[in-house]
Structure 1
Amino acid sequence: MRRALISVSDKTGIVEFAKKLTELGVEIISTGGTAKKLIENGVKVIGISDVTGFPECLDGRVKTLHPNIHAGLLAIRDNEEHMKQLKELNVTPIDLVVVNLYPFKQTILKEGVTREEAIENIDIGGPTMLRSAAKNYQDVAVVVDPEDYDKVLNEISEKGDVSYETKFNLCCKVFEHTSHYDTLIANYMRKERNATDYPETISMTFEKVQDMRYGENPHQSAAFYKEVGNTKGCITNAKQLHGKALSFNNINDTNGALELLKEFEEPTVVACKHANPCGVGSDTNIYDAYVKAYKTDPVSIYGGIIVANREIDKKTAEEINKIFVEIVVAPSYSDEAVEVLTKKKNIRVLVLEDILQKQPKTAYDLKKVGGGLLIQTIDSELLPEGLKVVTKAQPTKEQIEDLKFAWKVVKFAKSNGIAIGKDKRSLGVGPGQVNRIWACKQAISHAVEHLGEDVLKGASLASDAYFPFPDCVEEAAKAGISCIIQPGGSIRDHLSIEACDKYGIAMVFTGMRHFRH
């Protein structure tokens, strides 16, 4: 290890690292601001122009793009012809490259950044040096992460060089790093031209938040990654105030609860279990909203997740603490509420300030399948502008509000899904059944079991997709349900309409379904 090239944007620890290298007899080539910082701190540096014989130019756009650099990186030391050519060209091999790139990510995340500013922060020479060095990893150690400085120094100090295994690991890290960098650029450019098509190839990049203890089940490993960019209102932006680390299932289930919560503007609480809503309540204050959500299904809410779109106060916190819940998420908490909730060791208490911030309509929903990936835009719509009443009975203004409430809930229940609501609360939810009549019976039986025989009188029922048969209408009529909302579109729609007319039930078609698999 005789010669190193150092050119970094992130200068964390670079002075100490360079000083140690010089103590170990390694001479240092450097560029621009890095060279200036090293020299100011007493590190002897060879300027890049002294190696290339060519001045840095075009405002620093061209510094290292030169054969004297890349030949020194790419020459295979065991190849006699390569080494002979280096000697003839008077090129000295470079054994260590320490480079991290222009801060493109930090630039595009700034408020009001211009396209010109973003493009100026696209690194050209840096990725080229990294790729050259990584391609020749058996002879060149290449470092992109300050976290690797100590390991590299220790190996040079002990062995005079970096081990083959470490070089290979550093090489892999380089290609992950440059791939991430290029993907950020490609995705930024795509947004700049407002592209809405699905390209022939697609690259996405995420940054790790944490390793999980396990996945859906203890025998599965897992990690949690976040998108790069504005993720306001997402679980990735939540701040944890109390409790142990979130699990894989915690994150997935909380995400489902938050998506449903975003459909409501008034004070609302959503209780969720296994990514399905088990209780939803809206009211003029968050305490009464919580009581509504809880009473819908006090069995299922146990061990579930509670999300609220208003501050949790002491009274609400005390009510929540009467049962065991895994997670509570809210935009804020009173000091007294935090004191109450944190008395329980195992509850996770999360703050999500922009809890009602929705994802942009162009955001993707991804589903991994064996050997491939399904991509679609998120289901950002709720209802079309016009609802179509298809029965003789006409829903009242109050019933329309109940129908809309139930429709919000069923949108986030797994298909086949049925939701029943009245007076801004869910009464029963039947999610994830293989046929719609089972979902309907489940929603009705849950409501009756927890709230009593007469609770469904005058209630509204929502179905995430059309009724292929009139059986759900028959069950609704037996329970006393007064109105139904569903997409319509079955070749047998007339059977359900006729059944509704028979029982005096109002039915509304949306023309829009909400499958959720």
Structure 2
Amino acid sequence: MTDRAPLTRALLSVSDKDGLVELARALAARGVELLSTGGSARLLRDAGLEVRDVADLTGFPEMMDGRVKTLHPKVHGGLLALRDDPGHVAAMEQHGIAPIDLLVVNLYPFEATVAAGADYDTAIENIDIGGPAMIRAAAKNHGHVAVVTDVEDYDALLAELDANDGQTTYAFRRRLAQTAYARTAAYDTAVSTWMASAIGEAAPRRRSFAGTLAQTLRYGENPHQQAAFYTDGSDAPGLANAEQLQGKELSYNNINDTDAAFALVSEFADAAPACVIVKHANPCGVATGGSLAEAYGRAFDCDRTSAFGGIVALNRPLDAATARAITEIFTEVVIAPGASDEARAIFAAKKNLRLLLTAGLADPTTAATAFTQVSGGFLVQDRDTGRLAPDALKVVSERAPSERELADLRFAWTVAKHVKSNAIVYCKDGATVGVGAGQMSRVDSTRIAARKAADMAEALGLAAPPTQGSVVASDAFFPFADGLITAAEAGATAIIQPGGSMRDDEVIAAADARGLAMVFTGMRHFRH
């Protein structure tokens, strides 16, 4: 290993050819000999650069539809040889192997091919073999060889050469090697994950996850924790692909809460204008309305105290009236599928308010994998995409819900899906009026939600708590009748819950005794 390694010969073989000609021209101007393959070589020649084919170097043509072209001792020997090892140097001289000091490779676009819906055989043909082999070889020998796998690193490479008289430093090569191994690991992860899905293997023996750094965060949930934000390459509408128009850099908690708000508001893609306000990953107000401004006002009135410093998500482009309403209190983040020029101008006066614009709403039915780290491993599951089918509800009480109650029950159930368990949600006329989240006892969640509704009634000067005439959603069954009785005492008239408790008969009897309508979904929505 040497601190500064000269750069006399480079092998360039890429699928993504952005910036390749400019890089090659800059290398050639520094006296670097260029080796290349296939389409990369043709592109460089067409640009007037002198390029030597790898086939000329190895003495073998590309064969088997390009499957075999770089798997040769004159390539891998040139990458792996230790320049300061006499035995390696002697072997190079004996077999006519010239050193390769720089490898520039990016891989067959396997991820993009799969994302485009390619069939099995096409996906298999887009698994790169020679590229990862060369990358790993060059990265292993980073004591002497520089390896570049990202177009984003081209400028850094040229700056490194300028700063070191056409050489690369060991520290720089080591950073490139780490990036290279992360890239091949992510590539293999993409292949293995796709193949597990393709063959129907729900729980493969070995599983890995990969991501690309999007942002280094100031800290994690708390200032003493380091954190970073990684994306998975998906182009779906959402936080990872949102455009931030203004405001400070997002924090760890901002990202977590904004994602929770966007996921919930996306459930209302086909509904009337809707607004979700989230605080600490739980919705503290959700509502629909005749306009976005009305929906925001109704969501805000569910829990004005918790809404302070919260996250607002909208299912329509932000308009001026809604923007003015939002800026009346301190709000951390607003995320919406667009914003009018007037709304943008209103927000511009609030420099610390982050405005994120997305290309649309997420599809809450799209399958995805969720994982949670635990001591010594991680849990993996499908994302909760469960939704109520039109005929899914089973009326179990003597009284069936009215049409108004039924609409509110469906609304409440959708919201409860996104509330931390134990979750209780009171709703009335398409708006939440009380939310109880994250309690160890379901009856405590029921009481907390009712108490918060009563507190808001007092603050707003209402004659009665808004839970009067409301409906209630419970994310899991009532294990005892006490939670249902508490909801009835708060004024609820209808209940939606999964059912399935050993005491369902007792709970149903309590509902009938109080004239409540109750429906079972047969589906649970625990969220931890």
Question: What TM-score, normalized by structure 1, do the two folds share?
Answer: 0.90
Residue 231 of structure 1 corresponds to 236
Separation of aligned partners in 1, 2:264 and 2:106: 41
Report the alpha carbon displacement of residue 23 of structure 1 after superposing the two structures with TM: 5.5
- What is the CA–CA distance in structure 2 between the aligned matches of 1:431 and 1:471, rounded to whole Å? 17
Q: Which amino acid aligns with 1:6?
A: L
Quote the Cα distance in structure 1 between the aligned partners of 2:151 and 2:427: 56
- 2:3 corresponds to: none
Per the alignment, residue 516 of structure 1 pairs with 527
Aligned partners of 1:97 and 1:130 also within 8 Å: yes
Identify if the C-alpha distance between structure 1 residues 332 and 196 changes in structure 2 by more than 3 Å, giving closer, same or farther.
Answer: farther
The DSSP-based 3-state class of the residue aligned with 2:338 is coil
Q: Does structure 2 conserve the Cα–Cα contact (< 8 Å) formed by 1:414 and 1:431?
A: yes
Q: 2:516 aligns with which of 490, 505, 514?
A: 505
Give the Cα–Cα distance (whole angstroms) in 2 for the partners of residues 54 and 501 of structure 1: 84
Structure 1 319/229 Cα, relative in aligned 2: closer, same or farther at 3 Å? closer
**Is 1:266–1:283's contact at 8 Å kept on the other side of the alignment?**
no
Q: How does 1:277-288 map to 2 (within 5 A)?
A: 277-288=283-294
Runs (5+) with no aligned partner, structure 2: 1-5
Contact 1:4/1:96 (8 A) holds in 2? yes
- Deviations along 1:94-130, one digit per CA (max 9) or x if unpaired, are 33322223334444455x6566655554333222222
Q: Does 1:260 align with 2:251?
A: no
Contact 2:365 2:386 in 1 (8 A): no
Cα deviations by residue, 1:173-204 (Å, 9 ceiling, x for unpaired): 2211112223233334445x263612111122
For structure 1, the residue ranges without an aligned partner over 5 or more in a row are none
Shift in alpha-carbon separation, 1:175–1:212, aligned structure 2, 3 A: same
CA gap 1:196/1:379 in 2 versus in 1, 3 angstroms? farther
Q: Does 1:125 align with 2:130?
A: yes
Which position in structure 1 is the counterpart of 2:496?
485
1:335 aligns with 2:335: no
Name the structure 2 match of 1:413.
419
State which drifts further: 300-309 or 37-46: 37-46
Q: 2:56 aligns with which of 43, 50, 54?
A: 50
Residue correspondences, number = 513
Q: Deviations over 1:305-360 (max 9, x none)?
A: 11111233222222222222112222232222222232222211222232153351
Q: Which among 443, 466, 471 is matched to residue 460 of structure 1?
A: 471
Measure the CA separation in 2 of the matches of 1:310 and 1:282: 11
- Which letter does structure 2 place at the counterpart of 1:248? Y
1:496 aligns with 2:501: no
Which residue does 1:291 correspond to in 2? Answer: 297
Q: How does 1:107-256 map to 2 (within 5 A)?
A: 107-110=113-116, 118-149=123-154, 152=157, 158=164, 161-191=167-197, 193=198, 195=200, 197-232=202-237, 234-256=238-260
Distance 2:22 2:319 in 1: 50
> In 2, distance between residues paired with 1:321 and 1:153?
47
Give the CA deviation at 1:273.
0.9
Helix, strand or coil for the counterpart of 1:316?
A: helix
| Alpha-carbon RMSD | 2.6
- What SS does the aligned partner of 1:296 have? coil
Q: Which amino acid aligns with 1:277?
A: P
Which of 87, 104, 108 pairs up with 1:98?
A: 104
Q: Does the 8 Å CA contact 2:219/2:225 hold for their aligned counterparts?
A: yes
C-alpha displacement of 1:435: 0.9
Contact 2:196 2:204 in 1 (8 A): no
In 2, the alpha carbon distance for the partners of 1:363 and 1:27 equals: 46
- Determine which of 329, 333, 349 is the counterpart of 2:355: 349
Distance 1:239 1:3, change over 3 A: closer
Query: For 1:317, what is the secondary structure of its paired residue?
Result: helix
Structure 1 SS opposite 2:372: strand
The structural deviation recorded for 1:141 is 2.6
Could you tell me whether the CA contact under 8 Å between 1:279 and 1:293 is conserved in 2? yes
Within 5 Å, give how 1:360-509 maps onto structure 2.
Answer: 360=366, 362-383=367-388, 385-451=391-457, 452=462, 453-509=464-520
Question: Which residue number in structure 1 is paired with residue 307 of structure 2?
Answer: 301
Q: Which moved more, 1:89-98 or 1:239-248?
A: 89-98
Residue identity in the other structure for 2:328: K
- Is residue 311–residue 331 contact of structure 2 (8 Å, CA) maintained in 1? yes
* Native 8 Å contact 1:205 1:228 kept in 2: no
1:455, CA displacement in angstroms? 2.6
Contact 1:266 1:284 in 2 (8 A): no
Deviation at 1:42, TM superposition (A): 5.0
CA contact (8 A) 2:101 2:144 kept: yes
**Sequence identity percentage:** 46
Contact 2:434–2:467 (CA<8 Å) still a contact in 1?
A: no
Amino acid at match of 2:492: I
Q: Distance in 2 between matches of 1:461 and 1:407?
A: 8
Instruction: Give the whole-Å Cα distance in 1 for the aligned partners of 2:59 and 2:407.
Output: 76
Shift of 1:424: 1.0
Residue identity opposite 2:510 in structure 1: A
Following the alignment from structure 1 to structure 2, what is the Cα–Cα distance between the partners of residues 343 and 492? 56
State TM-score, norm by structure 2: 0.89
CA distance in 2 between counterparts of 1:485 and 1:95 reads 67
SS at match of 1:126: helix
Matched residue type, 2:523:
M
